[in-house]
């Protein structure tokens, strides 16, 4: 392929990408009335980054991450900025298809597509990525990233988290990563720098937890599509700016709660969203759910709740304990389906369903995401036993199935409404 053709293709992809993002953003912003004022920060952020192609952290040392298990505190402490590369774009999904088998996960394909397209301007010249060996596809895609010219640190994650052996194995891998980060950025992680970065992340988590709790209100004060947009922005936004923006949003949402404002219909069924993560611009399913008259009040996904909820606890504020503490945070509470047991995920879903007075659960699995597909049976049976209706949706990034999906979702929501009336 000549350079000219390649350049032309890249240009086409760029245009397609910006169109895709603009359409998705438009839908999220304009198709719904009464968006919170504080959401403008986030709409504007996506407009700049995704539609206009602005670089998130110009002039800074950036390190790409591919899963929630990367202890981002360490990256901040080493003087760099983590940017999560997990991608939600259909354009990139198509570009990435050439590297992966036909039946593989859209998210992994899209991430590879972005990295191979030459459009991945989020990283700096160092092209550094830390790839966690979570599922098989992510593990092997780390190798493909290397082939595409990236410098990849493979962070090995154990396949279970209950055993002490798994914990110590993971802790020692994270310690190795911490040492390597120091030589990579030229800033050794120190007691003070790590303490400060743990504080920054904790502040962001506090902001998220406040938003999370506000959604428990009997009248949903904010729509789930907006919250997904907010948490998704954590992937690439400046962490302090993000936290301030979320706190501003929290203040507004809190006021809404006091005023008795309802973001959806007063009797809209309350949905708990679980499974494969919605990542902009692929907020297809959440938007469909809320367009059909339900409201997402909570989630159990790695682009939102699982990423931001659990907090680091340090016992001794020395480097040795802090590194282990951030390692523990990434492993122990994680409800990712790649682990052998699904007990924690079940318990988490049940607890969320109860505290958020949920009417039903929507379980999204990207076709090709084997682990989420494999957990579907046990989770669905568990929810049924607990008397919680659930809908399993297998989908991908393509817009082709929207018609079919909306029929299924509307039917599910109607059944939830009917169930409520019977009660």
Partner 1 sequence: MKRLRAFINGADIRRFRFWVQLGFFVLLVYGGYFLINLGQSLPTFSCGFNQPGRAGVCYLLPLQHQTHIPWDSIISWRGLGILTGLLTFVAWLFVFNKAWCGYACPLGTIQDWMTSLRQKLGIRYSTYSLDWFTRLKKIKYILLILLIVIPFLMANSVAGLPTLPEDMGTPFCKICPARMVIPAFTGDFSQWTVDFSTGTAATMTGLGMLVLGIFFIGGFINKRFFCFFCPMSALHSLFSKVALLKLRKDGSKCTRCGDCYRACDMQIKEIADDVESKTLIKDDCMMCFKCVASCPEEGALKASFMGIPIYESTEAGFFKRMTKRRKR
Binding site for partner 1 (CB under 8 A): 162, 164, 167, 195, 198-199, 202, 206, 209, 309-321, 324-325, 328-329, 332-333, 344, 347-348, 350-351, 354
Least Å distance, CB 314 to partner 1, is 8
Q: Answer yes or no: are the C-beta atoms of 189 and 80 closer than 8 Å.
A: no
Write down the least CB distance from residue 209 to partner 1, Å.
Answer: 6
For partner 1, give the closer residue by CB, 283 or 322: 322
Choice between 179 and 408, CB closer to partner 1: 179
- Minimum separation from the CB atom of position 351 to partner 1 (A): 6
Which run of H or E residues covers position 64? Answer: strand 62-65
3-state helix, strand, coil in the chain (%, to 5): 55, 10, 35
Q: Which is nearer to partner 1, 202 or 248 (CB)?
A: 202
Shortest distance in whole angstroms from residue 196 CB to partner 1 = 9
Q: How far is the CB of 233 from partner 1 (least distance, A)?
A: 22
Calpha distance 239→236 (Å, rounded): 8
Candidates 275, 292, 257; CA nearest to 373 is 275
Quote the least distance from Cβ 156 to partner 1, whole Å.
19
Ordered strands of the 270-275 beta sheet: 295-300, 270-275, 360-366, 390-395
Q: CB of 222 within 8 A of CB of 253? A: yes
**Distance of alpha carbon 212 from alpha carbon 268, whole angstroms:** 18
Rounded to a whole number of angstroms, the minimum distance from the CB of residue 127 to partner 1 is 33
Contact yes or no for 49/94 (Cβ under 8 A): no
* Rg of the chain, C-alpha, whole Å: 21
Report the nearest approach of partner 1 to the CB of residue 211 (Å).
Answer: 13
Q: Smallest distance, Å, CB 161 to partner 1?
A: 8
Of 259 and 351, CB closest to partner 1: 351
Residue 62 or 312: the one with the smaller Cβ distance to partner 1 is: 312
Identity of the residue, 85 or 207, whose beta carbon is nearer to partner 1 in the bound complex:
207
Sign of the four-CA dihedral 113, 116, 120, 124: positive
Q: Which is nearer to partner 1, 162 or 238 (CB)?
A: 162
3-class DSSP assignment, residue 68:
coil
Helix (H), strand (E) counts: the chain: 16, 8
- The values of phi and psi at residue 83, to 5°, are -130, 125
For 370-392, b/e burial (b = at least 16 CB within 10 A) is: bbbbebbeebbebbeeeebbbbb
Question: Which C-beta is closer to partner 1: that of 238 or that of 344?
Answer: 344
Asked if 102 and 120 touch (Cβ cutoff 8 Å), the reply is: no
Cβ nearer to partner 1, comparing 7 with 340: 340
Minimum distance from CB of 269 to partner 1 (Å)? Answer: 23
Using an 8 Å Cβ cutoff, are 395 and 284 in contact?
yes
Return d(Cα 175, Cα 170) in angstroms, integer: 9
Residue 273's SS3 state is: strand
Identify which of residues 320 and 400 has a Cβ nearer to partner 1 in the complex: 320
Contact yes or no for 105/373 (Cβ under 8 A): no
Shortest distance (Å) from residue 212 CB to partner 1: 10
Which CB sits closer to partner 1, 125 or 164? 164
Which tokens sit at 301? 């996904």
Within 10 angstroms of residue 23's Cβ, the number of other Cβ atoms is 13
């Amino acid at each position: 392929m000549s350079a000219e053709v390649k350049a032309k293709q890249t240009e086409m992809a760029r245009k397609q990408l910006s169109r895709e993002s603009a359409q998705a953003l438009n839908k999220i912003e304009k198709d719904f009335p009464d968006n919170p004022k504080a959401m403008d920060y986030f709409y504007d952020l996506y407009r700049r980054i995704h539609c206009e192609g602005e670089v998130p952290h110009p002039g800074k040392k950036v390190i790409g991450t591919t899963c929630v298990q990367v202890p981002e505190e360490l990256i901040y402490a080493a003087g760099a900025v983590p940017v999560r590369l997990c991608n939600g774009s259909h354009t990139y999904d198509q570009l990435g298809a050439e590297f992966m088998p036909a039946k593989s996960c859209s998210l992994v394909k899209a991430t590879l597509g972005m990295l191979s397209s030459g459009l991945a301007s989020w990283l700096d010249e160092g092209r550094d990525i830390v790839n966690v060996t979570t599922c098989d596809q992510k593990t092997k895609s780390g190798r493909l990233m290397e082939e595409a010219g990236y410098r990849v640190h493979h962070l090995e994650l154990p396949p279970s988290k209950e055993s002490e052996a798994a914990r110590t194995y993971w802790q020692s891998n994270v310690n190795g990563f911490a040492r390597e980060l120091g030589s990579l950025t030229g800033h050794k992680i120190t007691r003070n720098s790590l303490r400060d970065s743990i504080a920054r992340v904790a502040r962001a988590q506090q902001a998220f937890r406040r938003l999370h709790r506000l959604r428990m209100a009997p009248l949903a004060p904010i729509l789930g599509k907006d919250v997904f947009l907010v948490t998704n922005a954590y992937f690439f936004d400046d962490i302090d700016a993000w936290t301030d923006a979320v706190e501003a949003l929290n203040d507004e949402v809190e006021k809404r709660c006091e005023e008795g404002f309802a973001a959806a219909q007063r009797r809209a069924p309350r949905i708990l969203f679980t499974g494969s993560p919605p990542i902009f611009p692929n907020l297809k399913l959440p938007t469909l759910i809320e367009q059909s008259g339900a409201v997402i009040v909570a989630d159990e996904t790695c682009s939102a709740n699982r990423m931001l909820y659990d907090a680091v606890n340090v016992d001794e504020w020395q480097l040795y304990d802090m590194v282990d503490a951030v390692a523990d945070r990434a492993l122990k509470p994680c409800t990712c389906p790649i682990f052998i047991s699904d007990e924690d995920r079940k318990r988490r879903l049940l607890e969320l369903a109860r505290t958020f007075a949920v009417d039903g659960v929507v379980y999204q699995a990207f076709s090709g995401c084997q682990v989420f597909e494999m957990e579907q049976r046990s989770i669905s049976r568990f929810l049924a036993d607990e008397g919680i209706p659930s809908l399993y949706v297998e989908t991908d990034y393509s817009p082709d199935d929207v018609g079919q999906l909306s029929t299924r979702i509307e039917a599910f929501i109607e059944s939830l409404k009917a169930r409520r009336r019977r009660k």
